[in-house]
Amino acid sequence: MASSTILPYSSTHYNTLPEFFTAKETFKAKNASKTIDITLASLFLRHKVHHNLGVQMLHTHFTIGDDERLVGIGAVAVPIELDIIVGSAIKPLVYRFVPTGVAVCEWTQGNDANEVDLSSPQYAAFMAELRIVLDEAGLIDVLGIFVRQPGDGKMKGVEFTAGRANITLHKDEPTEGGNSVEASWVFMEKTVQPGDATTRTMSACNSWCQPFVGNHSSRHKEKGGRYSLDRETQGASLKDPNPPVELAAPIDTSDAITATEVMAARKSWSQEFVGNHSSRHQEKGGRSALEAEMQGDLDEDEDEDEELVEPVTQVMAVCTAWCREFVGNHSSRHKEKGG
C-alpha cells in the first residue's frame, strides 16, 4: 500500500506538475468535476476536514530552480531561494500524492497562515482514503489538496502569470468563458430547511429505506431464504404492480442534515445492500439473483447527465428511481421464483 508520509521538500514535486492548460484538458477529459462534487465532497465532510482543507487542480505556470520554493505572499506567489527563507516563516500550502508519499508543491507565509498536521490520526486516515479514491478515479496526478487560509471561499478569484509571478485577482464573479477554468474548491455544509420538498424526501430515506436494508438479510435467515416481503414493503406488493408509495412523515430536522451526508448514506446503505444481496440468495438456495438487474440500474445512474444537479436533488432522483422501484418489485420476484 502506498504511503501517506510527508516527504522532504524537492522542487521536482512542483516542476513535474502539468502546465495549466494541459491540466485543464486532462481535468475535463476525466470528468473530474463529477468526482469532486459527489465523492470528494462526501469524503471531506465525513472526515470533518472541510474547514481546513480544499481540493486543488494540480498545475504549474513556470519552472522553479532546485534551490527555490514557490511561496504565496498575499495575492502573489513567487519563487524564493531557500537561503532567504528564515526558519518557520513559511508553511505548506498545496500537497500532491507521489508514489512514495505526500509532497509539498507550494507554500504560504504570514503570522495568521493556517497549518495542518497531516500526520495526525484524523488527517492520516483521511489522506489514506483520499489516495485510494483519487487512484481509482485516475485522478492521482490531476487533483491534490490545499490548506485553507483565513478568508478563502468568501470570494472567487482569477489567477494569471506575469513573468515568474503567479497573481490572483479576487472578484465576486470572475469573467466566464475564454481560457478561464476553476482550479480550487472548498466544501461547506448546507442546511436543508424544515418543511421543504428535499427535507421530506430525506426524512423518507432515513425512516424507511435504512431500516429495510439493515434488517433484510436477518429476516431471510430467520425464514430460511423463503420469506415473501409483502409485509415489510406493505403496499408495495403483487396486489398492484405499480402501487403508489407514500412518503414517510417529515421528521424533526432540528439537527441539520447536509446534502453531502445524505449522498454518503445512500451509497453506504443502498449500494452495499445490492452488492451483497444476490450472494445471500445464492447461499440460501434462493433463485432470484438481482445483480444483473440492479447493476443496470446503477450504471444508468452513473452515466446520467454530465452536468450535475445539486447533490440533494440527485439523491431525490436516486431514491425515487432506484430504491422504491427495487422494493416495489422485489416481493413479486420472490413469489415468481418460489421464494
Grid coordinates standing for 81?
531561494
Instruction: Indicate whether 107 and 244 sit together in one domain.
Output: no
Q: Is residue 81 part of a domain?
A: yes
Q: Is residue 124 part of a domain?
A: yes
Q: Could you say which of 185, 209, 231 is where a domain stops?
A: 185
235 is in which domain, residue-wise? 197-336
Residue 122: C-alpha distances to residues 113, 199, 265 (Å):
20, 30, 21
pLDDT at 25 over 60: yes
pLDDT at 302 over 60: no
pLDDT at position 326: 53
Report CA torsion sign: 274, 276, 280, 282. Answer: positive
Q: Could you say which of 185, 210, 238 is where a domain stops?
A: 185
Query: How confident is the prediction for the chain on average, in pLDDT?
Result: 70
The model carries a pTM of 0.57
Instruction: Indicate whether 52 and 82 sit together in one domain.
Output: yes
Instruction: Indicate whether 161 and 249 sit together in one domain.
Output: no
Instruction: Yes or no: say if 108 and 29 are a contact pair by the CB < 8 Å rule.
Output: no
Q: Is residue 176 part of a domain?
A: yes
Taking the C-alpha atoms of residue 155 and residue 172, their distance in angstroms, rounded to an integer, is 6
Q: For the beta carbon of residue 28, count every other beta carbon within 10 angstroms.
A: 11
Residue 92: C-alpha distances to residues 88, 114, 310 (Å):
10, 9, 32
pLDDT at position 147: 97
Q: Is residue 192 part of a domain?
A: no
Instruction: Indicate whether 35 and 60 sit together in one domain.
Output: yes
Q: Is residue 3 part of a domain?
A: no
Q: Is residue 32 part of a domain?
A: yes
Residue 188 banded pLDDT, cuts 50, 70, 90: confident
pLDDT at 164 over 70: yes
Q: Could you say which of 157, 185, 213 is where a domain stops?
A: 185
Instruction: Indicate whether 33 and 177 sit together in one domain.
Output: yes
Instruction: Indicate whether 166 and 263 sit together in one domain.
Output: no
Which DSSP letter does residue 285 get?
Answer: T
Instruction: Indicate whether 55 and 126 sit together in one domain.
Output: yes
Instruction: Indicate whether 161 and 209 sit together in one domain.
Output: no
Taking the C-alpha atoms of residue 71 and residue 83, their distance in angstroms, rounded to an integer, is 14
pLDDT at 198 over 70: no
- The C-alpha angle with vertex 113 and arms to 116 and 189, in degrees rounded to 5, equals 60
Q: Is residue 293 part of a domain?
A: yes
pLDDT at 279 over 90: no
Instruction: Indicate whether 178 and 233 sit together in one domain.
Output: no
Length of the chain: 339
Q: Is residue 315 part of a domain?
A: yes
Taking the C-alpha atoms of residue 51 and residue 59, their distance in angstroms, rounded to an integer, is 23
Q: Which of 100-104, 198-202, 281-285 has the lowest mean pLDDT?
A: 198-202
**Torsion, Cα of 286, 292, 295, 299 (10° steps):** -170
Q: Which residue has the cell 521536482?
A: 12
Instruction: Indicate whether 203 and 148 sit together in one domain.
Output: no
Phi, psi of 2 (to 5 degrees): -65, 150
Edge to edge, the sheet with strand 157-162 lists 157-162, 165-170, 76-81, 68-73, 101-109, 90-98, 143-147, 53-57, 184-185
CA contacts within 13 A on the Cβ side of 191 = 7
Instruction: Indicate whether 154 and 255 sit together in one domain.
Output: no
The domain tally of the chain equals 2
Q: In this prediction, what percent of the chain has a pLDDT beyond 70?
A: 50
Q: Containing H/E element for 72?
A: strand 68-73
pLDDT at 76 over 70: yes
Instruction: Indicate whether 169 and 233 sit together in one domain.
Output: no
Instruction: Yes or no: say if 207 and 251 are a contact pair by the CB < 8 Å rule.
Output: yes
Q: Which residue has the cell 445464492?
A: 282
Q: Which residue has the cell 488527517?
A: 123
Residue 177 backbone zone (phi > 0: left; psi -120 to 50: alpha; other: beta): left
